[in-house]
Structure 1
Amino acid sequence: MTVHHFQPEIYYNTIGGHQPVLKIADGDTVVTNTVDARGWDHSGESVAGRGNPMTGPFYVEGAQPGDTLAIQLESMTPNRGWGWTSSVLAPNVVDPTAAAALPPSEITRWSVQEDLVFLEKPTSGLVNLKLKASPFLGCFGVAPSRGQAISTATSGVYGGNMDYKGLVSGVTVYFPVLSEGALFHLGDGHAVQGCGEIVGTGVEISLDVRFTVRVLKGKTIGWPRGESETHLFCIGNARPLDQALQHATTEMLSLLKEDYGLTDSEASLLMGQAVEYEVANVFNPAYSVVCKVPKAVLSML
C-alpha cells in the first residue's frame, strides 16, 4: 500500500477518458489538492478554466467495468482563508413572481477560519451569522462508459457534480466502474453548503484532499452509493426531481436485497418506515436526490 503525493498541473472541465495523471493500486492512498469552481487555487490565482475543473484522472490498476470503486474520503481541508458564493436564490427554486423580483446575483466573499465560515462584509441582518465549516467535494466520480467525456456541470451514474453536503471526511463513496482503470476525478471543493445548492454554489474553496481507493472485484452497482458513520445511502442524478428520487430508491432497494438478503417485500416494508431522503442539488442540469437508511435500523437485520 503506497501513499502518493500528487501536485496537479493540468485540470479538466469534463469527466471522461483523459490521459491519467497517475497510476495507483488497490489500497493506495493519494494526497493531493483541488482548485475551486472558478479555477482559483490556494493563493487565489486563476490556474484553470471555470466550471469545476477536475484534479486527475487517477488510473486504478485492476479496476474493470462491472467492478465497484470505493473511495474513502480521509480528509478534506480548505487551504485558503476565504471562499465565495452567489448571493441570490436560483430562479427555479422559488415561485415565478418571487423570481422576477429577485435582485441580480453577485459574487460574495466569505471568511473561512479554522472551523467557522462567515461573511467578510456582512450586512446588519447577518453580522452575527457564523456557520460551522463542513468541507466536501461537490464534483467527483469515474469516467463514464463508451468513451464519453461529460461536462462537470452535471452528474449521472458515474457521479459528477452531485453537490451533496454529506460527502464529508470519514465517508466512503462507491462508484460503478464503467471504463478500464476507473479514471477517478475530483474537484469543486465547498467549505459549507445547505441542501439543494439553492444559490447555485456552496462556499466555493480550494481543498487539500487525502483519499484511499479500493477495488471491489465483481461487485456491480447501478448508481453511486455511500456509507457514513450513521447511514448507508444511494444517490440518484436526473431531471425531473422525481426521476432522481426513483434512481436513488431503486439503488437502495438493490442494496438491501444484495447485501442483506431481503426480499422485495421485506425491503419495501423496511424502507417504507425507515427511509430518509435529502435533496442534494436542484440547480444543476441533473438534480441529485439521496436515499438513506440508518445503520441503527440495519443492525436489526
Structure 2
Amino acid sequence: MSWFESSIMARKGVAGGKPGASHKIGIEDQGTFHYVYGPYAEPVLHVEPGAVVTVETHDAFEGKITSESDKPTELLNFPYLNPQTGPILVKGAEKGDALAVRILSIKPRGPQPVGTTCLLPEFGGLVGTGDTAMLNPPLPEKVKKVNVTEQGVEWSDALTLPYEPFIGTIGTAPEIEAISSLQPDYYGGNMDLPDMAPGAIVYLPVNKAGGYLYLGDCHAIQGDGELCGVALEMPATVEIQVDLIKGHGNGWPQLENEHSMMFIGSSRPMEDAARIAYRELVRWVARETGQTESEAYMLLTMCGKVRVGNMVDPKYSLGASIEKRFVK
C-alpha cells in the first residue's frame, strides 16, 4: 500500500482520494488576478470533490520584471504583488470542513529565463524595514534572471542548483475579511513553505461555504526563511487534486507527506508562529495516539522539528512537524 492510501485525504475525503473530473484554469480563463484572500470574489471554477485541476500561475510580479536592468520600484505597484489564481469553489464545503489539496506537479512556464529574484528596498530579513525601522540607507535594487528547467536552476556558469519547486501562496477565503495575498494566517496564504511541494497534501480550513481556494506565487527553489524576501519566483503550471474532509475542524493549515505530519503557524514575533504550529501538532498527536496533551507535549519535545517558511512577510510562517513513525 502506498503512503497516499493511508493519508487523511484518502481515508476521510468525500472522494476517498480518487481523482475525479479534470479542469483547467489558464491565464486567459482567469482574466483578473486577485491580490487579496477574501470571500467576495466570483469563483472562476466550481468543482466536485476529487477534481483534478491544472492551473496556470503568474510569478509574484505578474511578469512585470523582464530584465536584469529593470528597477522593481519603477515597475511594481505595492501592495499589488503575489497575484492569485482562483477562487475555486468546492461543492459541499462548509465552515468547519477542510479542503485537501494534493500537489501533483509544478512545472516552469513561459520563455526563459523563467526565474526572477531581486533585492527590494526596505524588504528582507537582514535589512531595515517599515516594521523594523533603521537609519541605514536601503540596499540598492538588484535583479537576477535565471534559466529554470525541471533538470535544474542555472544560477551561474559554475553552479546549477536543484529544481525544488513549491507553491508559495495557497489558501482558502477568510469568512468575512479580505486580506492581502502577501500575508499568511489561519487560512494559509503567503506561507512560503518549501514543503508545499509535489507529493504533499495540504489541509486548509474552510471558513466560507465553498472554501474558495486561491493559489499562486510558485518558486523554483528557496532556502529556509526566504532570506532576502524574494525566492526564485517563476510562472508555473500546477496540477492539483482537490478533495473535501467533512468536519475536519482544524483552524490552521496542516501538511502531510510520505514521512511527516506538519502544522503551520503564522504570526509575529516568530516564536508565536512556532507556538501556534506546535500547539496544533500537540493536539493532533494526542487525538491520533490516545495520549494526553501533556504526554504529546513531552513527546514532541523529544522529536518535533521546526521549519522556517518565511521571516520577511507581514507575519512569519513556521511549520512544526513529527515523523509519522513516532505517531503510534
Deviations 1:224-269 (A, max 9, x none): 0001122110100011101101110111012112233221122022
The residue number in structure 1 matching 2:230 is: 201
Deviations 1:25-67 (A, max 9, x none): 11111112100101129x99x9x99400000000000000011
The residue number in structure 1 matching 2:144 is: 108
Shift of 1:218: 1.2
* Cα distance in 2, alignment partners of residues 3 and 220 from structure 1: 28
Query: Do structure 1's residue 186 and structure 2's residue 215 form an aligned pair?
Result: yes
Percent sequence identity is 32
Query: Do structure 1's residue 167 and structure 2's residue 196 form an aligned pair?
Result: yes
Residues 123 and 312 in structure 2, CA contact (< 8 A), matched pair in contact too: no
* Cα distance in 2, alignment partners of residues 105 and 228 from structure 1: 37
Shift of 1:112: 0.7
* Cα distance in 2, alignment partners of residues 170 and 130 from structure 1: 23
Query: Do structure 1's residue 267 and structure 2's residue 289 form an aligned pair?
Result: no
In structure 2, the CA distance between the partners of 1:246 and 1:252, relative to structure 1 (3 Å rule), is same
Deviations 1:139-185 (A, max 9, x none): 1100012x211101101000000000111000000011100100000
AA aligned opposite 1:112:
V
- Choose the corresponding residue for 1:4, options 14, 19, 23: 23
The residue number in structure 2 matching 1:93 is: 125
Give the TM-score of the pair, scaled to structure 1: 0.89
Residues 39 and 50 in structure 1, CA contact (< 8 A), matched pair in contact too: no
The residue number in structure 2 matching 1:67 is: 97
- Choose the corresponding residue for 2:53, options 30, 41, 55: 30
SS at match of 1:244: helix
AA aligned opposite 1:4:
H
Query: Do structure 1's residue 51 and structure 2's residue 76 form an aligned pair?
Result: no
CA RMSD of aligned residues (A): 2.4
AA aligned opposite 2:51:
D
Residues 261 and 321 in structure 2, CA contact (< 8 A), matched pair in contact too: yes
In the alignment of these two chains, the number of paired residues is 288
In structure 2, the CA distance between the partners of 1:201 and 1:215, relative to structure 1 (3 Å rule), is same
Structure 1, unmatched stretches of 5+, are none
Q: 1:109-188 to 2 correspondence within 5 Å?
A: 109-119=145-155, 122=156, 127-145=157-175, 147-188=176-217
- Choose the corresponding residue for 1:217, options 240, 246, 252: 246
Residues 52 and 240 in structure 2, CA contact (< 8 A), matched pair in contact too: yes
SS at match of 1:192: coil
Query: Do structure 1's residue 15 and structure 2's residue 47 form an aligned pair?
Result: no
SS at match of 1:93: coil
Residues 234 and 249 in structure 1, CA contact (< 8 A), matched pair in contact too: yes
Residues 110 and 117 in structure 1, CA contact (< 8 A), matched pair in contact too: yes
Residues 119 and 230 in structure 2, CA contact (< 8 A), matched pair in contact too: no
Residues 122 and 139 in structure 2, CA contact (< 8 A), matched pair in contact too: no
Query: Do structure 1's residue 258 and structure 2's residue 287 form an aligned pair?
Result: yes
